[in-house]
Chain A
Amino acid sequence: NAGVTQTPKFQVLKTGQSMTLQCAQDMNHEYMSWYRQDPGMGLRLIHYSVGAGITDQGEVPNGYNVSRSTTEDFPLRLLSAAPSQTSVYFCASSDLQGYQETQYFGPGTRLLVL
């Protein structure tokens, strides 16, 4: 199993540009989530999904969209990038009871917005 994969590893955007961060898992996990990590801020939940076709907002959803058309994929879209979105983004997945159980994290995407 590849586990949780994220692409790209690193991206530079200009303010106002849009992009999609890809996340995929091959463990047939129902629960998937996106976090952002900023220095000294820990991880903050952006959006999460309990299964295909179902998504919900986390702590910091503004400026981000998600969709879950398949169990495997959970892309995160930045609609109009802002410097405040410069961060490291992590995708995670989990089986069984989802949020209550072990989360498997991807390697992260470093995003720089100029």
Chain B
Amino acid sequence: SQQGEEDPQALSIQEGENATMNCSYKTSINNLQWYRQNSGRGLVHLILIRSNEREKHSGRLRVTLDTSKKSSSLLITASRAADTASYFCATDARGAQKLVFGQGTRLTINP
């Protein structure tokens, strides 16, 4: 079963609005990562947050992590058409030497 689950599965907003995606996971982790995938392309790393961190920023991206709820959120502020993509969270379950991805959130930014 998937370690990470994103919510919602699809999100459509107007350009300039903020987009929030959530990720829930099941077991204790070391790190949680967010990736973006443009249609037909490989995944690109966006941000990594460690289990002892609660919030991290990178440009227009803000990631939070709540280990007590086993959840994370990715906020994209002031969205642009170029942000249209699928977004995936990935977690590394402690004790397992592998990274497991969720099913992704498909984000559409309407001009």
Contacts and interface: CB of A to CB of B under 8 A. Distances in A.
A and B are interacting partners: yes
Interface of A: 4, 33, 35, 40-45, 48, 50, 56, 58-59, 90, 92, 98-108
A102 B102 contact: no
30 contacts: A35-B101, A40-B103, A41-B103, A42-B88, A42-B101, A43-B43, A43-B88, A45-B98, A45-B100, A48-B97, A50-B97, A56-B97, A90-B43, A92-B43, A98-B97, A99-B97, A99-B98, A99-B99, A100-B31, A100-B92, A100-B99, A101-B31, A102-B45, A103-B35, A103-B99, A104-B45, A105-B42, A106-B42, A107-B42, A108-B41
Interface residues of B, number: 22
Contacts of A98: 97
Interface of B: 2, 30-31, 33, 35, 41-45, 48, 88, 90, 92, 97-104
Contacts of A92: 43
Contacts of B2: 42
Contacts of A48: 97-98
A100 B102 CA distance: 16
A103 B45 contact: yes
Nearest to A58: B98
